[in-house]
């Protein structure tokens, strides 16, 4: 039975809420002295990576699902080729590769234009959305790869001239740093909120 694109987005949002409950619990444990700063920084790196991989999984589900009819949308989505088999659709989209790259987002846009008329719904993100995803990818690479090049890009394109404490100038420290004071929100929370908002745009 086909699922709605909105249901896929709602599942993603529900997962983010679970992540947030865990984050809030660990912050309380840190406040009470039960975990160290090193512990909580490792947690922030892990929860951030899980958030990004969950977002990429959402795009994968949407793309293949809309292509095969396994997912329906209120928009008029027109695949250029009809696939009845998810396995065959995935093999074709993979194009001989071992996995599908959804980020940087221009990979997704180019792929969408090949498989959907006007690239919809993946062509519906605006410049601000795509810039946010590029920034998220830069942070992910700094966390996952920890190479000199990834760290340099993170320091220049994410940290820039932002006034931060020394402990906040690492990827983990940055994710835990304050994005907004009222209401209180960390950089990680803002990223999770951005991913949820983009997911809703793609799933309308």
Neighbours of 172 (CB within 10 A): 22
- First-last CA distance in the chain: 19
| Predicted TM-score (pTM) of this structure | 0.94
pLDDT in tens, 82-93: 898 999 999 999
Q: Which two tokens stand for residue 144?
A: 């996952």
Q: What is the largest CA-CA distance in the chain?
A: 57
pLDDT in tens, 130-165: 999 999 999 999 999 888 999 999 999 999 888 899
pLDDT band at 197; cut points 50, 70, 90: very high
Is beta strand 3-4 parallel, antiparallel or unpaired with respect to 71-72? parallel
- φ, ψ for residue 67, nearest 5 deg: -70, -35
pLDDT in tens, 115-126: 999 999 999 999
Between CA 77 and CA 26 the distance in angstroms is: 42
The overall average pLDDT reported for the chain is: 95
Q: CB–CB of 169/139 below 8 Å?
A: no
pLDDT at 167: 94
Between CA 133 and CA 91 the distance in angstroms is: 26
Q: CB–CB of 57/35 below 8 Å?
A: no
């Amino acid at each position: 039975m086909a699922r709605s694109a909105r249901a896929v987005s709602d599942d993603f949002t529900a997962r983010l809420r679970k992540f947030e409950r865990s984050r809030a619990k660990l912050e309380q444990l840190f406040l009470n002295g039960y975990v160290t700063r090193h512990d909580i920084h490792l947690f922030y790196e892990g929860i951030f990576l899980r958030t990004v991989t969950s977002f990429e999984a959402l795009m994968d589900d949407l793309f293949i699902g809309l292509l095969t009819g396994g997912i329906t949308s209120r928009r008029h989505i027109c695949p250029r080729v009809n696939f009845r088999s998810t396995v065959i659709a995935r093999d074709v989209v993979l194009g001989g590769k071992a996995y599908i790259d959804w980020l940087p987002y221009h990979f997704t846009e180019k792929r969408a234009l090949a498989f959907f008329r006007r690239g919809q719904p993946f062509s519906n993100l605006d410049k601000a959305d795509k810039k946010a995803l590029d920034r998220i990818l830069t942070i992910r690479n700094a966390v996952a790869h920890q190479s000199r090049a990834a760290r340099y890009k993170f320091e220049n394109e994410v940290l820039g001239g932002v006034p931060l404490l020394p402990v906040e100038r690492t990827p983990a420290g940055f994710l835990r740093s304050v994005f907004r004071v009222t209401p209180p929100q960390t950089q990680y929370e803002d990223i999770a909120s951005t991913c949820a908002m983009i997911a809703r745009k793609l799933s309308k």
